[in-house]
Amino acid sequence: MKKILIPTDFSEPAEYALSLAQELAQKADAELHLIHVVMMPHNERVEVTPKGTFADGILEDYTREFLEKSHQYLKKIVDGLKLPAGKVHYQISSGHPHQVMLAYINKHNIDLVVMGTQGAGNSPMIGSNAQKMVRIATCPVLTLRQPVRLSDIKTITFACDLDEEQSLEGIGALKKLQQITEAELQILFVNTPTYFNTSRQIQDKLTYFVQKHQIKGYSFALYQELNEERGILSFLEEQPEQSSQMLALSTHQRSGLSFWLAGSVTEAVVNTVGMPVFTFQF
């Protein structure tokens, strides 16, 4: 976990994400990359970095003024971060937020995206775009709806189907996050009528899964429910200390959902639960 991206629209949820990302960067000795995406009139392509402003054509005065104010605001945030010189990078780009963010992830080999979310229908950088990034990002995404510190996280609940095709990189990132937070890892398996498993099948899957991924120091929870989404949400609601929880989910890159998850469970969970949600592709 060497490069962490924080999309920001200067809102409170974005500030929550930046605060947590800064803690992660300090613990992991990682770089922070901040990006602010703007929608330009006439679809002009613009990029603002510490090196200057780059545009396809001549910008109107009001556009330059707007970009300069955004640049000043972003630079003020960067200057207030408690990280060594050379560990923070920032950029303002024009375009559709999720497309710009995905291009940045791939260009700069980002290891983790940390985003605030308040649900669909909010500003261009959060809300629905957080759900889009969960589906399309080529690296893990950590979303949060409210302020949280690393020291608050005592348990990471990893809801999965124990599938042997789980991403080695994704599981590796989850283990790294567990190491940084010093949290207990709890593996949650939701058993449903549609994908019913016997106790012996579940035990065999669990044994193979933890051995393959070299997972140690974990606990296991089995929950019976009609579908996976209801099982995950119901299990979390029954936990006594929800404020100390983080949820981890894996999603299928082709559809944005793991095949075992019924409906839009990943997006629903990201948009519903109050705790941080860590997602990765497999």
**In the chain, where are the structural domains located?**
3-144, 150-281
Q: What is the reported pLDDT for 120?
A: 36
Could you report the per-residue pLDDT of 144-159, keeping only the tens digit for each? 988 999 999 999 999 9
Q: Which residues fall within 8 angstroms of residue 130, CB to CB, at 6 or more apart?
A: 115, 116, 117, 141, 143, 270, 271
Q: What is the reported pLDDT for 132?
A: 80
| C-alpha span between 161 and 228 (Å, rounded) | 10
What mean pLDDT comes out for the span 52-60? 61
- The yes-or-no verdict on residue 276 having pLDDT over 90 is yes
Of 119 and 261, which is predicted with more confidence?
A: 261
Tokens for 228?
């996976």
- The yes-or-no verdict on residue 28 having pLDDT over 50 is yes
Task: Report the topology of domain 3-144.
Answer: Rossmann fold (3.40.50)
Q: What is the reported pLDDT for 169?
A: 85
Q: Ranked by mean pLDDT, which of 20-34, 226-240, 251-265 comes out on top?
A: 20-34
Whether the Cβ atoms of residue 63 and residue 40 lie closer than 8 Å to each other = yes
Q: Which residues fall within 8 angstroms of residue 106, CB to CB, at 6 or more apart?
A: 138
Q: What is the reported pLDDT for 114?
A: 96
- The yes-or-no verdict on residue 225 having pLDDT over 90 is yes
Of 54 and 18, which is predicted with more confidence?
A: 18
Q: What is the reported pLDDT for 254?
A: 47
Whether the Cβ atoms of residue 88 and residue 81 lie closer than 8 Å to each other = yes
Confidence of residue 85 (pLDDT cuts 50, 70, 90): confident
Long-range contacts of 197-202 (CB under 8 A, 24+ apart): 202/162
Of 48 and 82, which is predicted with more confidence?
A: 82
Query: Can 3-144 and 150-281 be said to share one CATH topology?
Result: yes
* Relative orientation angle of helices 128-136 and 265-272, to the nearest 10 degrees: 140
What mean pLDDT comes out for the span 263-281? 76
Q: How far is the CA of 31 from the CAs of 5, 203, 223, in angstroms? A: 9, 40, 39
Confidence of residue 240 (pLDDT cuts 50, 70, 90): confident
Is the dihedral angle over the CA atoms 223, 206, 202, 270 positive or is it negative?
A: positive
Q: What is the reported pLDDT for 259?
A: 41
Query: CATH classification of 150-281 is 2.40.50.100, yes or no?
Result: no
Paired strand residues for 159: 188, 249
In this structure, what DSSP letter does residue 130 have?
Answer: H
The SS3 assignment for 13 reads helix
The pTM of the full predicted model, rounded to 2 decimals, is 0.88
Task: Give residue 178's identity as a one-letter amino acid code.
Answer: Q
Whether the Cβ atoms of residue 193 and residue 281 lie closer than 8 Å to each other = no
Could you report the per-residue pLDDT of 156-213, keeping only the tens digit for each? 999 988 876 777 888 999 999 999 999 999 999 999 998 899 999 999 999 999 999 9
Q: What is the reported pLDDT for 57?
A: 57
**Helical (H) or strand (E) element with 36:** strand 31-38
Residues of the chain with pLDDT > 90: what percent? 47
Tokens for 125?
């950088």
- The yes-or-no verdict on residue 62 having pLDDT over 70 is no
Q: What is the reported pLDDT for 56?
A: 59
Q: What is the reported pLDDT for 167?
A: 74
